Amino acid sequence: MASPRTITIISLSMALGIFFIFMGTIKLTPRLSKDAYNEMRRAYKSYMKALPGLKKIGMSSVIMRKTIGSLELACGIVLTLVPGRPRDVANFILLLLVLIVLFFHQLVGDPLKRYAHALVFGILLTCRLLVTRQPEEDNHEKKKLEGNPAHSQDPNKIKMA
């Protein structure tokens, strides 16, 4: 049977992956929701106005929106379908993207209700990364320690020499 840790990681990976596939697709195409797509276009134009330095280096709101959308879509697919280390890399990239988007929202002075979802999903990405980085409890090591008489004492007592 799978451990609770494994179930947690897989559940978070699937939920987060599907969310970012959805959000990335909305940033790239109006097929899912024309209103949401138009809102994304408007939002990224306001981000570019707040960051005139990006325009000087040749970045446009379209390029920025499509780059972030493509990264979200690709990392969402990896988070959903690819096991192992690539999931952790995708998780980290998505966490960086969420931090960038939160910065943009703060920069233009958006109210909390406009970026609350980014905060929540940033926290979930952080939780997934922390749970993944936790060492798996090894039952073999546990049994080995239980069999050792030096470890059979009460763990709350301090051994004095």
Mean pLDDT along residues 148-159: 58
Buried b (16+ CB within 10 A) or exposed e, 109-126: ebeeeebeebeebbebbe
pLDDT higher than 70, residue 8? yes
102-127, pLDDT tens digit by residue? 999 999 999 999 999 999 999 999 99
pLDDT band at 14 (very low <50, low <70, confident <90, very high): very high
How is 5-40 classified by DSSP, letter by letter? HHHHHHHHHHHHHHHHHHHHHHHH-SSS-HHHHHHH
Provide, rounded to the nearest whole percent, the portion of the chain with pLDDT above 70.
84
Instruction: Say if residues 69 and 28 touch (Cβ distance below 8 Å).
Output: yes
pTM of the model: 0.80
pLDDT band at 153 (very low <50, low <70, confident <90, very high): low
Q: Which amino acid is at 4?
A: P
CA dist 18 and 12 (Å) reads: 10
